[in-house]
A and B are shown apart, each in its own frame.
Chain A
């Protein structure tokens, strides 16, 4: 069972619909005690970072998420979720990130459309033993900030400058693109990513 952290002002309808069509089971969790007992935890969002961090701190997720990950629970951050998993962001200088993925999130540009709202080709820059090859794929992005690529970044796209699209540190995965809104290719990548995190369609995940 996949747990979707429910952030205020964010809609999970598209992600839930995509998971359902692929045969995954999911539940929403406003706070940690509503999470499924096992399976990946997804933190997805596209809105401002400050209120999201405040909500996560108030609900207990801010403290629980790193602890669950430390015990081996897979965590997937999508867009704003990736930014929160990183060490910090220029968007929210008063907050540090959760630090589960190294690196700092910086504003895109200057001299580019803001927000970056559209489709960009993605380039794989580092092979991973289990993650799928996304060479040549187009993904949908909706963001003004992005993680600076690092030595372990798996794939990048370019909007004025290169930015990280996919990161994997142990059981913590961050993806800048909205895979659930990236057509068949995005759904395929989401399914494969969840498989890497131990989740298969149509069955409960193994205990973590």
Chain B
């Protein structure tokens, strides 16, 4: 049985990754770290090498990669996985990345929005969110980072259907304990959490009472 993952989210600002914070989160029970870096690509390799040299848990980098060379640099610097954003060349970029690095090192961010007529659409692609995710899985995507709007109870059915695809689904934490537990109970493989007031271990303790299994 796999454990559900609690993955804290840390922001990288101007090439400065909070390495000390990441190491502290590792000691506090994090199962991985998601670094979000919207800054210049030229600064990424240096902080990634520094983080890789100090962390003993996997870490993922979500960034607006402009071309294959940028994501190649991130993976070769030490990131365990990249999360590709939506964009016009996503499918070609995903296929090239999977071919070079394998499924386990490439994921895609999917922004799912509930339309007024009750259908989940991938934004900005405008396609049905589930069909879009299934297509990504066919190309070789190894993980979906799912942002659902609205999140919480409304997104339970979407998470459940997405979880039936044969790829990992990491859900950006939809809120408090009950909503987070719902996401995991509906099949999400992990939660990406950005709550600095609560440690990963505290998240696990709060969610374990719902019968969810976590790494000790």
B26 at the interface (CB under 8 A from A): yes
* A11-B52 in contact given A113-B168, A117-B168 (Cβ < 8 Å): yes
Q: 0/1 per residue, A164-205, Cβ < 8 Å to B? A: 000000000000001011111011000000000000000000
Q: Which of A16, A112, A119 is in CB contact (< 8 Å) with B5?
A: A119
A158 at the interface (CB under 8 A from B): yes
A18 at the interface (CB under 8 A from B): yes
Asked if A119 contacts B54 (CB within 8 A), the reply is no
A143 at the interface (CB under 8 A from B): yes
Nearest chain B CB to A176's CB is how many angstroms away? 12
Residues 157-203 of B contacting A (Cβ, < 8 Å): 166-168, 189-190
Asked if B53 contacts A16 (CB within 8 A), the reply is yes
Which B residues are CB-close (under 8 A) to A181?
55-58, 80
Contact-residue bracket for chain A: 35 or more
Nearest chain A CB to B49's CB is how many angstroms away? 5
Return the chain B residue nearest A111 by Cβ. Answer: B166
Known: A17-B52, A183-B56. 14 other contacts (CB 8 A): A9-B75, A14-B78, A17-B55, A46-B80, A47-B100, A48-B99, A113-B189, A115-B102, A115-B104, A121-B1, A138-B215, A142-B105, A144-B102, A181-B57
| 12 residue pairs A–B, Cβ–Cβ below 8 Å | A11-B52, A13-B52, A14-B52, A46-B102, A48-B100, A109-B166, A113-B189, A119-B3, A138-B215, A144-B103, A178-B58, A182-B57
Give me the interface of B with A, judged by CB distance under 8 Å: 1-3, 5, 26, 31, 48-49, 52-58, 72, 75-81, 99-105, 142-143, 166-168, 189-190, 215-216
